[in-house]
Structure 1
Amino acid sequence: MPVCTLHLLSIKCSISRFLEGLVNGKELRPVIVAKVHRWVIIPSFLSLELLRSKWDVVLLLEGPFGLASTVQELVEEDWKVEVGVPSRILKDFAQRNQALLYPTPGSVPPLTGALEKRHSPAPSSAQDLELSDELLEWINKFKAAEGAGAVTMLNILAFKEGMKSEYLKYGQAFSESVGVKRGGNAKLVGNILSPSHYTSRTASVDGQEKQWDEFAMAHYPTISHFADMIASKDYQEVNHKHRLPSLKDTLIICATDLELPSVQERAAKL
């Protein structure tokens, strides 16, 4: 199982400048780069240093290596863990991800109407992956600002002892029914192999032990498809039966995939 490094980064430059730095760090092999938009679920007690910063970028790199100097100089804060990603998932990932981000006409499933059937009162928060009024308000603002493109939800998971099998039932339901019928796709998954490490100008926090178990990056054709899913009765039945009872702690961050500058684009700037 190839080792990769998952980073959450706060950067001190523009996104475009950061992407150029990634390309210039020739030894780096990005699997996915995504722009962070907001927390959906914050961690309850694990890796609370994550709450210290406003994160800008999710970065998954092939290999257990540090950031290149061309990238390090652009970073304000860095939270990272080593992860194992199955070879079958890494193989041809770039092509598969492009197909998800730019689907063929007619391939995206329609919304199921769950938003129109949403019952009152709404949940008070999204911490249980339910559609609160606050999250729905943000989603509507996000659609107005960002349009109808795809979103990626970064999930980091810690399981209760002996409960991973219950989470696998949730994953099966996601891939066979409640997620896939809204275009949901767990496009990247893997085991977390190391304690987390957090660095900033003022702090350095090494995890004393491996606390998180897995990560997943879930694709949705639009933020509306994600909202349609978590607003639905069929999803919440699975969520409350299998997902919530299995988790010791979790976090979810909403992001959108970024494309690295091409050789032609970089040449045009010279």
Structure 2
Amino acid sequence: MKLPEFEEVQGPVLMLNMLKFKDREHYFKTYLPAFRKVTEELGINGVKLRLACNVEANIIAPENEAWEVILLVEYPSAKAFKTIAESDVYQDIANSHRLAATAELNLYMTTPFEL
């Protein structure tokens, strides 16, 4: 997977994952442990699951946007995310599990700001 350049994004990033599943159990029991193994093998520390939620209802959203789960994952930097996603290690260890488990995925890179 080739991603755009993210050099202009500074500091930690929060990746908003909006998921629909083919196999929810496979995602949590196989993909997530494989993903952790990838971060360990690449020596990337500081990737943290910050929020995991079931979507209970669409309040202000198109009816066809029936997401099942939302995850918010913190990465130490945009570069760390890109390194993981583009690595052969990710492709070899984790990506096939993600593809087997997810029916649909929207992924947004976000940065925190103070109010």
TM-score bucket (shorter structure): 0.7 to 0.9
Distance 1:245 1:179 in 2: 20
Q: Which residue number in structure 2 is paired with residue 170 of structure 1?
A: 31
SS of equivalent to 1:211: coil
1:223 equivalenced with 2:94 (yes/no): no
Q: Which residue number in structure 1 is paired with residue 54 of structure 2?
A: 191
Q: Is the 8 A contact 1:156 1:216 kept in 2?
A: yes
TM-score in terms of structure 2 length: 0.82
- Whichever of the two has the greater Rg, that structure is 1
1:131 equivalenced with 2:2 (yes/no): yes
Query: Alignment partner for residue 96 of structure 2, among 241, 246, 267?
Result: 241
Q: Is the 8 A contact 1:179 1:185 kept in 2?
A: no
Distance 2:32 2:74 in 1: 14
Q: Report deviation, 1:165.
A: 1.7
Deviations 1:201-260 (A, max 9, x none): xxxx4x27x721101011111111111111212212233321012111110011101123
Distance 1:235 1:196 in 2: 35
Distance 2:59 2:89 in 1: 35
Distance 2:95 2:79 in 1: 21
Q: Which residue number in structure 2 is paired with residue 158 of structure 1?
A: 20
SS of equivalent to 2:106: strand
Residues 196 and 170 (structure 1), Cα distance of their counterparts in 2 relative to 1, 3 Å cut: farther
Deviations 1:78-114 (A, max 9, x none): xxxxxxxxxxxxxxxxxxxxxxxxxxxxxxxxxxxxx
CA RMSD of aligned residues (A): 2.0
Q: Which residue number in structure 2 is paired with residue 57 of structure 1?
A: none
Distance 2:99 2:15 in 1: 17
SS of equivalent to 2:99: helix
Q: Which amino acid letter does the alignment assign opposite residue 37 of structure 2?
A: S
Q: Is the 8 A contact 2:34 2:94 kept in 1?
A: no
Distance 1:195 1:131 in 2: 32
Say how many residue pairs are matched: 111
Residues 165 and 238 (structure 1), Cα distance of their counterparts in 2 relative to 1, 3 Å cut: farther
Q: Which of structure 1's runs of 4+ aligned residues deviate more than 6 A?
A: none
Q: Which residue number in structure 2 is paired with residue 99 of structure 1?
A: none
TM-score in terms of structure 1 length: 0.38
SS of equivalent to 1:244: helix
Q: Which amino acid letter does the alignment assign opposite residue 139 of structure 1?
A: F
Identity within the alignment, %: 26
